[in-house]
Amino acid sequence: MDNSRPSSPDALPQDLWSSILDSVSSTRSIPTKQVLVLGEPSSGKSALVSALLQKPPADADKEEERSDFALGYDWADVRDDADEDTLARLSVYTIPSSAPSYTSLLPHFVPPRTCLPHTVVLIILDWTKPWTFVEELETWLQWVENWTKGDGARELEITREENRERHLPLGPGTFTHNAAGVPIIVACTKADLIDENNDVIGAGTSGMGGMVKGKGGEWEERTDGVMQVLRTVCLKYGAGLFYTTPLPDTLQVLRQYALHLLFMPPASSPGFSSGTEAPAPVRNPFPFQQKPNTLDRDRIVVPAGWDSWGKIGVLRDGFDAKLWGEAWERDLEPMEGETEPGAKRLYSSLVPDQGAKVGPPPLPPVNNPTPEQAFLAKNYDENSKKPDRDPRGAFRNPNETVATGIVGPMGSISFALPNVERALTEMEGVAGGGGSTLGTNGGGDAAARKLTTRPAARMQTSTLAVPMAQSTSRSPAPSPTLTASPSTPGGPTQHEVLQNFFQSLLSSNKERSATTTSASATRTTSPKANGNTNGADEGT
């Protein structure tokens, strides 16, 4: 008996816990499924999304919940029938418009290379606008074709081929398009309005152009014709056709069919040898057991792979499915010089366009701004007459008359400012007592007391009067004073009065400087005569 055993066990992985966690996460990971909801605004997308996710619909009275986003997103876990295990996580992406600014966002979030085998496209058509069915179908189906092409990588081409193998052509006109084999569902919402209780249907309700129901077969012929056109187009793309209403049972049938397509097992690989057993088929956890229905116009159910040209023609005699298929091709690939009508043109004769012709909003008129100087010149005369254009008017006595001059409104209060009064006080103190300049206090104090005790009315005058006489060099020049004088015709303007006033101030300063210089020179020459000079000045 060999009791020998290996000297050393097999080497363990360097990162044991990471490998264990990776294996557990791979075995217990939840797959992801996507539904792309494509539809124009107000077509009923929110009701279908709520049914797919089994969430209560948004309250129509709450405006904040009715807002459309550039790209809507919501999700929910899909559980089995026993509600025990989570089978997948269902993500729903909603595009609110076929405008390129909206559709260009989706490939960034749902790349076809990784999401194509797990995605269902749901195209929404609104029965209140049936004249738009063919045009919207062409727009959305062409977008699906471009989205599935992706970047043209080899890996994506293999995915497209494997995905298409799950859908085999069944007859003429069947699955001629949709090269990637992506599951497509065309859902016509608000089908309950097709046979509403009104006798006459106008563009405001179901939009069938005012046709009378129940009189002859015109109403049923046109609605059946619309259904035949939709079934022909869906047959070319391998798509299913469903009519829905707000009733929960029609929405539940649509949800069951969408889950059936999402969990459809991949096609088995051919080429098994005789000695090799084929793997057991994978069971779809969501079998679709609803029978097709093409008679009840408010709950049509046409699953993919069931319909054919023969079944479409049985619904109403006189419909040529081949003709409509060729017309559809002419719209997708128009040829120069083609005279045969396309599908959109044929459909417009069946369902006249009853929509409001609302074009793009008009551009605002070109605004040529007025040049700045022209604007100021235009408003100068008007603004100059306004009494409140001077902010100082808020502090002016309302009983006081204001004279408007070149430099602005001038009243008596304009010269009663503290700065002006202080300047005049200093000026009169210098001019009234020469002794203060020469070092004595008698003349200056007397002038200050004289200025302090003078009446206030002297400072509040309406105009300026500046004496034009000039003083001699031996005696200081008298101070310019403010005296009241009525304005006389032909007299000096207020601008000239102000100019003369400030010019006299400059002249007085120059004369005082000259007198001070002369007095200093005299004191230096005759120091003994200092007292006499002071006495003379005081006498003067």
| Domains of the chain, first to last | 26-196+219-267+284-350 (3.40.50.300)
pLDDT of 139 strictly over 80:
yes
Confidence (pLDDT) at 20: 72
313 in Cβ contact with 321 (< 8 Å):
yes
Amino acid of residue 412: S
Q: What is the pTM of this model?
A: 0.59
Average pLDDT on 196-213 reads 45
| Alpha helices (runs of H) in 457-493, residue ranges in sequence order | none
Q: Give the integer Cα–Cα distance in Å for 127 and 49.
A: 18
Helices (H), 54-171: 100-103, 106-109, 112-115, 133-149, 154-164
Query: Quick one: what percent of the chain has pLDDT higher than 90?
Result: 31
For residues 499-534, b (16+ Cβ closer than 10 Å) or e, as one string?
ebbeebbeebeebbeebeeebeeeeeeeeeeeeeeb
Spatial neighbors of 476 by CB under 8 A, at least 6 apart, are: 430, 431, 434, 437, 508, 511, 512, 515
Helix (H, G, I), strand (E, B) or coil at 123: strand
| DSSP symbol at 161 | H
**363-376 tens-digit pLDDT:** 677 778 888 888 88
Name the nearest CA neighbour of 293 among 238, 255, 243: 243
Give the pLDDT confidence score for residue 269 in this predicted structure: 54
The predicted-structure confidence for 415-459, as pLDDT tens digits, reads as follows 445 556 666 676 666 555 544 444 444 444 444 444 444 444 444
* Paired sense of beta strands 86-95 and 301-302, if any: unpaired
List, for residues 28-87, the tens digit of each pLDDT value.
Answer: 578 889 999 999 998 999 999 999 999 987 655 454 445 667 899 999 999 887 777 888
Where residue 505 falls among pLDDT bands split at 50, 70, 90?
confident
pLDDT of residue 59: 59
User: In this model, does residue 96 exceed pLDDT 80?
Assistant: yes
Q: Are strands 184-189 and 240-243 parallel, antiparallel or unpaired?
A: parallel
Contact 395, 379 (CB under 8 A): no
The tens digit of pLDDT for each residue in 102-132 reads 999 998 888 887 888 899 999 999 999 999 9
Cα gap 491→486, rounded to integer Å = 10
Structure confidence by residue, pLDDT tens digits, 181-195: 899 999 999 999 887
| pLDDT score, position 175 | 86
Q: What is the pLDDT of residue 16?
A: 72
What integer pLDDT is reported at residue 501 of this predicted model?
A: 84
| Secondary element (H or E) of residue 396 | none
Q: Is the pLDDT of residue 301 over 90?
A: yes
pLDDT value at residue 399: 66
Please name the residue that has the structure tokens 């701004």: 369
* 123-150 exposure pattern, b = at least 16 Cβ within 10 A, e = fewer: bbbbbbbbbbbbbbbbebbebbbebbeb
Least Cα distance to 186 among 116, 263, 124 occurs for 124
Termini Cα distance of the chain: 151
